[in-house]
Chain A
Amino acid sequence: MSEVTKTGATPYDEMYTADGAVRPHYRPYAQWLEEVPRALIERKRSEADIAFHRVGITFNVYGAEGGKERLIPFDLLPRIIPGHEWSELERGLAQRVRALNAFLADIYHDQEILRAGRIPADQILSNAQFRPEMKGVKVPGGLYSMIAGIDLVRAAGADGSGEFFVLEDNLRVPSGVSYMLENRKMMMRLFPDLFSRYHVQPVEHYPDLLLETLRAVAPAGVVDPTVVVLTPGAYNSAYFEHSFLAQQMGVELVEGQDMFVQDDVLYMRTTQGPRRVDVIYRRIDDDFLDPLAFRADSMLGVPGLMRAYQAGHVTLANAVGTGVADDKSIYPYVPEMVRFYLGEEPVLNNVPTWMLREKDDLAYVLEHLPELVVKEVHGAGGYGMLVGPASTRAEIEDFRQRILAAPEKYIAQPTLSLSSCPTFVEAGIAPRHIDLRPFVLSGGKQVRMVPGGLTRVALKEGSLVVNSSQGGGTKDTWVVD
C-alpha cells in the first residue's frame, strides 16, 4: 500500500502548512479575513441564504419528508487551487477521460483489451452495467461519456505534501455543475473586493462549452442540430440543475411525455406541431430511457427511443452503457486503460483498492475492517458504504456479514485522510474535509473543462462523507494565477 494513505496521518490542509503558516496562494485571502469584521461575514452569510432560497437553488433529498426541497449549505470560504497544480490536474483528467472513452468504444466493439488479457473478460461481460444493446452501435466521434465528473481527493504524504487521487469516475449523469456556477455568482456578488485581490480563472462559460460539446456529437449530416435536455421532472433531486442548464444553453427542457418516436425518428411536441430532435443531454438513467428496451414500467422515457438511437438518428449524451466504465469494480483497472489505449503513464493515480472478489484481498480486508472504507461496487451517493473508523462495532459486524454473503459486490480502500479546508462553522472557522469534482467535456476531437469544479465539504466535524444527500455542503473553487 502506498505511504501517502495511512490511516491517522495528519490531513493536508489547503490553507495552512503543517507548522501553521499560511500557504502562499491563501495569503491575500488570510489578510482580507483579518481586515473584515466578523459581523460583516455573518451578514453576508444570511444574505447568501436568503438569495439561494429566493432563487430556489434547492436540492430534493430522497426519503426526506416526501422529497422536500432543501438548500445545500454553501460555505463562504473559497477553496483555492494554484494555477500550476490545476494545469497538472487538467492534463491528468483529460488523459483519464480519453482512456475511459476509448475503453467504452473498445468494449462495445472489438474488445481488444479483453483479448489482450488486461482486464478479466467476465468482469465486463457479466457486469450488470454492460449493455449488450450497445454492441456494434456506432456513436458520433466514438464518444460515450461526453460529460464526465471525476471525483478527486487530496491526501497528505509522509513529507507533508498533498497528492491528488481519483476517488471515483462518474460517467453516467454526473450532477453538481450548477452549484459550481451559482457558487461563483454568489461569491462575486457578496465579496467583489476579494476578486480584485485575486485573478480567479472564470468558470461562467461552462454552459457554452457544454452546448458546443453537444452540438459536436450530433448525428452525421445534421447541420444545425436541435439539442434538448431530458429531465425526469420537477420532483427529481437535480431538477434545478436540469432547468438551469437548459436555460443557460437556450435549449428546450423536455420530459419523456414531450417526445415520441415515429419511423425511428425522434420528435418533440411543440405548439407548432412535431419537431425533430437530434441530440439529447439526458439526465435520466439508462434503465428509464425507453420502456420498450429497458424497464417496461418507466414513465420517464420515450417508447422507441433506443431504436432511434441504434439507427443513429439521435445522439444520447451520455451514451447508453457508460456505467460499465465507472463501476467501482472496474475502477482499479483505469490506470491500465491509460497505458493500454494511450501508451502513457497515468498522470493521476487511483486510490489503492482491494477487490474483495480476490481471496487475498478479502482476507486482508476482513481483518482490517475498522480502519478501512468499504464500498458497494454499484452504490452511489454515499449510500451502502462502511467508514470503518467512524462505525460502531455492531455496524462493522453487520457489514462483515453483508460482505461475506457476496464479496464480489464490494471493494475496500484505506481510510484516506482527505485534505481539509477552513470552513465557517457554528464556533467560527474550523477545518473540514473536502473533495473536488471537475467536469470534463469531450466533443469532437477536444477534451475540455473549466478551471476548478465543485468542491464539496463534509460539514460535520471529522466526517469524510461529502455527498449533498448526506449533509455535505459546497464551496466556491478558485483556480488562481
Chain B
Amino acid sequence: MLSRTADHLYWMARYTERAENTVRMLDVSYRMSMLPRANGDDHANWRAILDISELSDAYVRTGRPLSPRDVIEFVLLDRDNLSSVWNCLRAARENAHAVRGKLTGEMWETTNATWLEIRDLTPEGLQDMDLGAFFEWVKFRSHLLRGVTVGTMFHDDAFQFARLGTFLERADNTARLLDVKFHALMPAGEDTHGATDYYQWGSLLRSVSAFETYRQVYRDVITPHKVAELLMLNHAMPRSLHACLDEIVDILGQVANSRSCETIRKAGALHASLHYGSMDDIFAVGLHQSLEKFLACINKLGDRISNDFLMPMAVA
C-alpha cells in the first residue's frame, strides 16, 4: 500500500486514541475534584493534567487561572492547543478524509460524524452540557471507530497500520498517566494508606476502566505498587504497556519490509523488558525513571516506524 495512505491511517488512529485518553484523564480529575476532600490543594490535580500532555507552559502563556473550568476548556476545546480534544478529532477526520477511499463507509461516516458534532462546540456551549456525559461521548466515539475498524475493514496492511497507531498512542498515554499520577499522588515518595489510596488510586484505575479488573486480579486493597503492576506488566489488561507492546510487535512482524529489521528488534527488546520484567526491578530503578525511559523508547519507535513505512518525519 501507499506509504502516505498508511501514514494517514496511522495518524487517524493515533489522534482518535489520544482524544479518548485525554478525556479519560480529565474525567478522573473532574471526579476527584468533586470528592469531599481532595488530596492537598486541588491545583496540583489540574496541573498534573497539563503536565501529562506537556501543556503546562502553553497554558501559562494563555494567562488563564488554574481553575477546573478553565483547564477543562483548554484541554477539550482550545483551538490553539494542538493537543486539545477538538484538534485531535479534527486531525483524525482530516487524516481520514485524505484516505477516505481506503476506509469502509462506516469508518468514514463515524469519523466524519464525530467531527461534525464537535466542530461547532464553543466554551459557552460546553457550559450548558453535562461534562460527564460529554466525556462519555468522546470515549464512545473512539470505541465506535475502533470497533467499526475491526468489524468492517479488510484485515490487510492498511488495517495493521491503523491498529499500530492505536497501540503506540495508547502505550504512550498509559505511561504518561501513570507517571504523572505517581508524581502528583506521592509527591515525596511518602506512603499513604487507607481511604486516600482507595479514592486516589481507585480513580486512576477507573480512568483506564480497570477498577473491577483490579479487584478481580488481586482481591486485595488498592496499593500503588499493584496499580502500577496492572497497568505496566499485565498482558491481559488491554490498556497496559505490556498489552500494547504485544500488539505492536505482532503488527510489525506482519508488515515487515526490507528496511524494518532494526525497528522490529528494538520493539522486541522493549517488549521483552515488560514480558520478563518485575515490579521489584522497576521500583529498584525508580518508577519515574523507568517510565521516562519507556516513553523515550516509544517515541523513538514512532520515529523509526515513520521512517521505515510511512512518511519520514521532517528532520528538525
Which residues on A are within 8 Å of B, measured CB to CB? 53-56, 233-234, 242-244, 246-247, 252-255, 257-258, 268-273
When distances are taken between beta carbons in the complex, the residues of chain B under 8 Å from A255 are 4
Query: In the bound complex, what is the Cα–Cα distance between A271 and B310 (angstroms)?
Result: 7
Q: Is B258 an interface residue (CB 8 A)?
A: yes
- Which of A244, A258, A271 is in CB contact (< 8 Å) with B101? A244
B109 & A252 in contact (Cβ 8 Å cutoff) = no
Return the chain A residue nearest B93 by Cβ. Answer: A56
B102 & A271 in contact (Cβ 8 Å cutoff) = no
- Nearest Cβ distance between residue A341 and chain B, in whole angstroms? 38
Query: In the bound complex, what is the Cα–Cα distance between A233 and B8 (angstroms)?
Result: 13
Query: In the bound complex, what is the Cα–Cα distance between A271 and B161 (angstroms)?
Result: 10
Return the chain B residue nearest A259 by Cβ. Answer: B2
- Which of A55, A56, A244, A270 is in CB contact (< 8 Å) with B2? A270
Q: Is B105 an interface residue (CB 8 A)?
A: yes
If A273-B257, A273-B258 touch, does A56 touch B4 (CB 8 Å cutoff)? no
If A56-B112, A271-B161, A271-B257 touch, does A247 touch B101 (CB 8 Å cutoff)? yes
B113 & A269 in contact (Cβ 8 Å cutoff) = no
Return the chain B residue nearest A247 by Cβ. Answer: B101
B161 & A56 in contact (Cβ 8 Å cutoff) = no
A271 & B1 in contact (Cβ 8 Å cutoff) = yes
If A55-B105, A243-B100, A253-B101 touch, does A258 touch B258 (CB 8 Å cutoff)? no
- Which of B98, B113, B309 is in CB contact (< 8 Å) with A271? B309
B2 & A54 in contact (Cβ 8 Å cutoff) = no
When distances are taken between beta carbons in the complex, the residues of chain B under 8 Å from A269 are 2-4
Interface residues of B in 283-314 (CB under 8 A from A): 309-310
Which residues on B are within 8 Å of A, measured CB to CB? 1-6, 94, 97-102, 105, 108-109, 112-113, 116, 157, 161, 255, 257-259, 309-310
- Nearest Cβ distance between residue A125 and chain B, in whole angstroms? 40
Query: In the bound complex, what is the Cα–Cα distance between A233 and B109 (angstroms)?
Result: 20
Which of A268, A269, A270 counts the most chain B CB atoms within 10 A?
A: A270
Closest 5 A/B residue pairs (Cβ) = A247-B101, A243-B101, A269-B3, A271-B309, A246-B101
B6 & A271 in contact (Cβ 8 Å cutoff) = yes
Query: In the bound complex, what is the Cα–Cα distance between A244 and B102 (angstroms)?
Result: 9
When distances are taken between beta carbons in the complex, the residues of chain B under 8 Å from A273 are 257-259
Return the chain A residue nearest B3 by Cβ. Answer: A269
B5 & A234 in contact (Cβ 8 Å cutoff) = no
When distances are taken between beta carbons in the complex, the residues of chain A under 8 Å from B2 are 252, 254, 258, 268-271
Return the chain A residue nearest B158 by Cβ. Answer: A271
A257 & B4 in contact (Cβ 8 Å cutoff) = yes
Q: How many A-B residue pairs have CB under 8 A?
A: 61
When distances are taken between beta carbons in the complex, the residues of chain B under 8 Å from A271 are 1-3, 6, 157, 161, 255, 257, 309-310
- Nearest Cβ distance between residue A347 and chain B, in whole angstroms? 37
- Nearest Cβ distance between residue A443 and chain B, in whole angstroms? 22
If A252-B2, A257-B4, A270-B3 touch, does A55 touch B257 (CB 8 Å cutoff)? no
- Nearest Cβ distance between residue B238 and chain A, in whole angstroms? 26
When distances are taken between beta carbons in the complex, the residues of chain B under 8 Å from A246 are 101
Query: In the bound complex, what is the Cα–Cα distance between A56 and B93 (angstroms)?
Result: 12
- Nearest Cβ distance between residue B220 and chain A, in whole angstroms? 45
A54 & B257 in contact (Cβ 8 Å cutoff) = no
- Nearest Cβ distance between residue A115 and chain B, in whole angstroms? 46
If A252-B1, A270-B3, A271-B161 touch, does A247 touch B108 (CB 8 Å cutoff)? no
B109 & A55 in contact (Cβ 8 Å cutoff) = yes
B257 & A272 in contact (Cβ 8 Å cutoff) = yes
- Cβ contacts A to B, 25 pairs, < 8 Å: A54-B109, A55-B105, A55-B109, A56-B97, A56-B100, A234-B97, A243-B99, A243-B100, A243-B101, A246-B101, A252-B5, A253-B99, A253-B102, A255-B4, A258-B2, A258-B4, A268-B2, A270-B2, A271-B1, A271-B3, A271-B6, A271-B255, A271-B309, A271-B310, A273-B258
When distances are taken between beta carbons in the complex, the residues of chain B under 8 Å from A242 are 101
Assuming A56-B97, A254-B4, A271-B2, what are 8 further A-B pairs, CB within 8 angstroms? Answer: A54-B109, A56-B109, A243-B99, A252-B1, A252-B2, A269-B2, A270-B1, A272-B1
A234 & B98 in contact (Cβ 8 Å cutoff) = yes
When distances are taken between beta carbons in the complex, the residues of chain B under 8 Å from A254 are 2, 4
When distances are taken between beta carbons in the complex, the residues of chain B under 8 Å from A56 are 97, 100, 108-109, 112
B5 & A54 in contact (Cβ 8 Å cutoff) = no
- Nearest Cβ distance between residue B13 and chain A, in whole angstroms? 15
Return the chain A residue nearest B109 by Cβ. Answer: A54
When distances are taken between beta carbons in the complex, the residues of chain A under 8 Å from B309 are 271
Query: In the bound complex, what is the Cα–Cα distance between A359 and B105 (angstroms)?
Result: 57
Which of B6, B101, B108, B109 counts the most chain A CB atoms within 10 A?
A: B101
When distances are taken between beta carbons in the complex, the residues of chain B under 8 Å from A244 are 101
Query: In the bound complex, what is the Cα–Cα distance between A234 and B94 (angstroms)?
Result: 9
Query: In the bound complex, what is the Cα–Cα distance between A173 and B259 (angstroms)?
Result: 38
Return the chain B residue nearest A228 by Cβ. Answer: B2
When distances are taken between beta carbons in the complex, the residues of chain B under 8 Å from A247 are 100-102
When distances are taken between beta carbons in the complex, the residues of chain A under 8 Å from B161 are 271
Return the chain A residue nearest B94 by Cβ. Answer: A234
When distances are taken between beta carbons in the complex, the residues of chain A under 8 Å from B98 are 233-234
Return the chain A residue nearest B100 by Cβ. Answer: A243
Which of B4, B102, B257, B310 counts the most chain A CB atoms within 10 A?
A: B4
B3 & A258 in contact (Cβ 8 Å cutoff) = yes
Query: In the bound complex, what is the Cα–Cα distance between A243 and B100 (angstroms)?
Result: 7
- Nearest Cβ distance between residue A143 and chain B, in whole angstroms? 26
- Nearest Cβ distance between residue B113 and chain A, in whole angstroms? 6
When distances are taken between beta carbons in the complex, the residues of chain B under 8 Å from A54 are 109, 112-113
Query: In the bound complex, what is the Cα–Cα distance between A247 and B158 (angstroms)?
Result: 13
Query: In the bound complex, what is the Cα–Cα distance between A271 and B100 (angstroms)?
Result: 18
- Nearest Cβ distance between residue A283 and chain B, in whole angstroms? 13
When distances are taken between beta carbons in the complex, the residues of chain B under 8 Å from A268 are 2
When distances are taken between beta carbons in the complex, the residues of chain B under 8 Å from A257 are 4
Query: In the bound complex, what is the Cα–Cα distance between A55 and B111 (angstroms)?
Result: 11
Query: In the bound complex, what is the Cα–Cα distance between A5 and B99 (angstroms)?
Result: 47
- Nearest Cβ distance between residue A396 and chain B, in whole angstroms? 43
When distances are taken between beta carbons in the complex, the residues of chain A under 8 Å from B255 are 271
Return the chain A residue nearest B258 by Cβ. Answer: A273
- Nearest Cβ distance between residue A172 and chain B, in whole angstroms? 22
Return the chain B residue nearest A245 by Cβ. Answer: B101
Query: In the bound complex, what is the Cα–Cα distance between A343 and B116 (angstroms)?
Result: 57
Which of B1, B3, B112 counts the most chain A CB atoms within 10 A?
A: B3
When distances are taken between beta carbons in the complex, the residues of chain A under 8 Å from B97 are 56, 234
When distances are taken between beta carbons in the complex, the residues of chain B under 8 Å from A253 are 5, 99, 101-102
Query: In the bound complex, what is the Cα–Cα distance between A269 and B97 (angstroms)?
Result: 20
Query: In the bound complex, what is the Cα–Cα distance between A413 and B16 (angstroms)?
Result: 55
- Nearest Cβ distance between residue B211 and chain A, in whole angstroms? 36
Return the chain B residue nearest A56 by Cβ. Answer: B112
Return the chain A residue nearest B6 by Cβ. Answer: A271
Query: In the bound complex, what is the Cα–Cα distance between A253 and B8 (angstroms)?
Result: 13
- Nearest Cβ distance between residue A177 and chain B, in whole angstroms? 15
Which of A53, A56, A255, A257 counts the most chain B CB atoms within 10 A?
A: A56
